[in-house]
């Protein structure tokens, strides 16, 4: 499932993050690439142990925790601390698949990367190129979202970032392990949850059909979830 999460961050949050990033020290982005993708990656990023990255990442995690669309789609168990990258001057990331397992630096925590996320921080008209191209069964899907919006997609997907030929594309990126391992099960639960929410808006939370479907939804999670 490839899902845009619109307006995860408001304009004030985006402006604050960009201000902090503007004063930060950037390093070669190949530091977080796996052995195979290291030669394909041409960008810069904040170091993983950067206090700025940690503070801004916490701000993003707070926004994620309050976003019902994200929670419904991802059903997250663990989220890798958000990282930040910048593409400019022809920078790109050739086709690759994200590493299956990520260790959180400075901790014993390791997570399986079920889902990947890119949170766009610069407006699409401020740079040329930089599209995120994700391979799907229906062909490559091109993603270039407004600042503050995020796309969620399977970490198993082959994807790439097109060269940036004007301006700078700044984004946050991270991975998560879902409580629901199967992507098919996650998609089914997402569709069910979205239908329940729509029905509850029409009939009310205490409608017997809404209550019955909600029970089915939570019992399915109880059966499928890994914790």
> What is the distance between the alpha carbons of residues 87 and 90, in angstroms, rounded to a whole number?
7
- What are the pLDDT digits (tens) for 135-163? 998 899 999 999 999 999 999 999 999 99
Confirm or deny that 218 is annotated as ligand binding: no
- What are the pLDDT digits (tens) for 67-116? 999 999 999 999 999 999 999 999 999 999 999 999 999 899 999 999 99
Give the per-residue pLDDT at 31: 67
Give the per-residue pLDDT at 32: 59
Confirm or deny that 78 is annotated as ligand binding: no
Percent above pLDDT 70 for the chain: 96
Q: What is the mean pLDDT of the chain?
A: 95
List the beta strands (DSSP E) in 3-52. 3-5, 27-28, 41-42, 44-45
Confirm or deny that 159 is annotated as ligand binding: yes
- What are the pLDDT digits (tens) for 191-219? 999 999 999 999 999 999 999 999 999 99
Dump the DSSP string for 40-53.
GEE-EE--TT-HHH
Confirm or deny that 169 is annotated as ligand binding: yes
């Amino acid at each position: 499932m490839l899902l845009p999460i619109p307006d995860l961050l408001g304009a004030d949050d985006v402006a604050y993050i960009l201000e902090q990033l503007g004063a930060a020290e950037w390093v070669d982005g190949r530091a977080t690439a796996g052995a195979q993708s290291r030669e394909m990656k041409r960008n810069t990023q904040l170091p993983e142990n950067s206090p700025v990255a940690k503070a801004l990442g916490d701000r993003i995690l707070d926004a994620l925790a309050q976003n019902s669309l994200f929670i419904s789609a991802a059903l997250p168990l663990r989220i890798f601390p958000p990282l930040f990258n910048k593409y400019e001057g022809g920078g790109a990331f050739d086709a690759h698949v994200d590493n299956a397992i990520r260790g959180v630096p400075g901790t014993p925590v390791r997570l399986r990367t079920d889902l990947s996320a890119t949170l766009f921080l610069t407006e699409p008209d401020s740079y040329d190129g930089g599209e995120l191209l994700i391979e799907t069964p229906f062909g490559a899907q091109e993603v270039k979202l407004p600042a503050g919006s995020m796309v969620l997609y399977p970490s198993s997907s082959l994807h790439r970032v097109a060269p940036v030929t004007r301006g700078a594309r700044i984004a946050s990126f991270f991975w998560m392990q879902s409580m629901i391992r199967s992507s098919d099960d996650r998609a089914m639960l997402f569709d069910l949850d979205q239908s329940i929410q729509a029905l509850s808006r029409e009939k009310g939370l205490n409608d017997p059909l809404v209550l019955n479907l909600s029970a089915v939804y939570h019992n399915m999670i109880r059966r499928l979830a890994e914790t």
